Amino acid sequence: MTRIYPQFVVAKFGGTSVADFDSMNRSAGIVLADDHVRLVVLSASAGVTNLLVELSEGLESRDRMDKIDTLRTIQYNIISRLKAPLVISKEIDQLLENIARLAETALATPSTALSDELVSHGELMSSLLFAEVLREREAQAEWFDARKVIRTNNLYGCAEPNISLVEDQAEPHLRPRIEQAIVITQGFIGRDDAGHTTTLGRGGSDYTASLLGEALQAARVDIWTDVAGIYTTDPRIVAQAQRIDHISFSEASDMAAFGAKVLHPATLLPAMRKNIPVFVGSSKNTAAGGTLVRRETEDPPLYRAIAIRRKQTLLRLHSLHAQPAYLFFAEMFAILAAHQVDVDLVTTSESCIALALNSTGSTSGEDHTLTTALLTALSSHCRVEIETGLALVTVIGNQLHRGTGVCRDTFVDLDEYAVRMIFHGASNDNLCFLLPSDVADGAVIALHRRLFE
C-alpha cells in the first residue's frame, strides 16, 4: 500500500558517515529511526574523492594502479561485510573498470569534463553500497541516479544547477519513488545539456540535498557529518569552540561562504528560498544534538562566529598611466569578466585595485583562475602583483556596522600578525582580513579568546 509523505525529510551523509561498513550501518540506523526520512543523499566514502581527483590529473601506470587498488580495497572492505555480496560486487567491479579506463585516458588527454566523469564514481559506488546495507536491514530501498534530476551548466568542477529544470525533473522522477521506498541517491554530481556528467564543487553533496529538498518541498534537510553541529569556529583549531544550537540562515550562509567546512557555501540558498530548516549533527553521536539553521533566531549576538578560508590569492593591479580612476576600473573589470574571473573581495585606491581570489570551491581544489591568457591581457594594461599562500579570516555577526569597538575587538590582539588586507563595509554582518596562511591558526585562536571566551 502506498503511503503519502507530505512532511518528509532529506538526509545527507558525508564521507566520514559512509567511510566503511560500520559507518554505513550506523548511518542506516539513523535513516530507519525516522519514518519521515524518504530521500538519502550521499557523499563518496572518506578519502575516495581525493584518490579520484589524483587519478583525473593523469598518473603514470604504477601510481595509477596503486590508487585504483586503494579504491578497490575501500569498496571491498564494505562488500566483505555484506550477507549477499555477489550482485553488488559485480556493479562495483564495473565502476572500478570505468575508473581505470578514464584514468588511463586522463594521462593522454586530460580535460575538466573527463575529470568530472571520473570523480563522480565515488558517489555512485557509496550510494550503491549504502542501498544494499539498507536492504539487508529489511528496508525497502531504491537506488536512484541523481543526474536524471540535477541539471547544470557545463562549468566542470564547479557547475551551477538550473533550479527550474531541477524542480521540473524532481517531481516526476523522485516524488513517486519516495512514496514507495527510501530513495538513495548521490550528492555532488549532475548532468549538463549535452548529457555529460558535472560536479558541483567540493562539499557539493550538501548543496544537492538542499536543492532536492527545495524541489520536493521537504519539511527539513538533515546534514550528518563528523561534528555535532556548527561551532563558533573550527574546533580542530580552537578546542574551546562552542556549539551554536540555533543559527539563522544568513549567519550560517556567511560562515559557509567564508570557509566553515561544515556546510557547502551554496547549501542554504535553496533552503532559504523555501524556508526549510536545516539540521546539522554527528552521525557518530546522535545523542550529542546539533545545530538547527532557520530563518531567524531570538536575540542574535553581535559576534556569532569566526571562519577561516585557506588557499587565497591577493591580486594587485597597478595603473600604468595617468587616467581617471573610473576608466582604469572599467578596463580591469572588463578583462576580468571576459575571462570569467569570480572576484571574491575587492578594495581600491586611485591607481590600484586589490582583489582576493578564492580557489577552494572547485572539485580539484586547485586555482585555475590566473590563466596565462588572463595575466597576458592584464599585463598589457597594468602592472600585476600576485601574492599566494594567504588565508582569509572572517568575523561573522549581526549589525557589526552599528557595534562600537568592533575594530578594536578584532585587531587588539593581532599586533604580531602581518595583516595584508581588510574588508569591511560591503556587508553589515562581517569583517574580513587576509594574512599569511601559516600564521592564520594563531590569529583565530587569539581572536576567539577575545570574542567568545
Q: Does the annotation place 236 within a ligand binding site?
A: yes
Residues in the chain: 453
| Largest interatomic CA distance in the chain | 77
Q: Which residues contact 210 (CB under 8 A, 6 or more apart)?
A: 10, 221, 266, 267, 268, 269, 270, 271, 276, 278
Q: How far apart are CA 153 and CA 210, in angstroms?
A: 18
Q: Alpha-carbon distance 144 to 89, whole Å?
A: 18
How far is the C-alpha of 415 from the C-alpha of 432, rounded, in Å?
16
CB 366 within 8 A of CB 343: no
Is 261 marked as a binding-site residue? yes
- The 3-state DSSP class for residue 222 equals strand
Whether residue 262 is annotated as binding a ligand: the answer is yes
Phi, psi of 12 (to 5 degrees): -115, 135
Instruction: Using DSSP bridges, classify how beta strands 230-231 and 246-248 pair: parallel, antiparallel or unpaired.
Output: unpaired
Question: Across 173-289, where does the E strand assignment appear?
Answer: 182-186, 189-191, 197-199, 220-225, 230-231, 243-244, 246-248, 278-282
Q: Which residues contact 176 (CB under 8 A, 6 or more apart)?
A: none
Cα–Cα nearest to 342, from 355, 352, 354: 355
Integer Cα distance of 382 and 314 in angstroms: 15
Whether residue 225 is annotated as binding a ligand: the answer is: yes
For 35-139, where are the E strands, in sequence order?
Answer: 37-42
The verdict on whether residue 49 carries a ligand-binding annotation is yes
13 assigned binding-site residue? yes
Whether 433 has a binding-site annotation, put simply, is: no
Question: C-alpha grid cell for residue 272?
Answer: 532559504
Name every residue whose Cβ is closer than 8 Å to that of residue 147 and which is 6 or more positions away in sequence: 186, 189, 190, 191, 197
Measure Cα distances from 40 to 134, 137, 226, 280 in Å: 11, 16, 17, 15
Q: How far apart are CA 65 and CA 59, in angstroms?
A: 9
Q: Is 372 annotated as a binding residue?
A: no
| Residue ranges of the binding site for substrate | 49, 123
Q: Which residues are annotated as a binding site for ATP?
A: 12-15, 225-226, 231, 236, 261-262
Residue ranges for the known binding site are 12-15, 49, 123, 225-226, 231, 236, 261-262
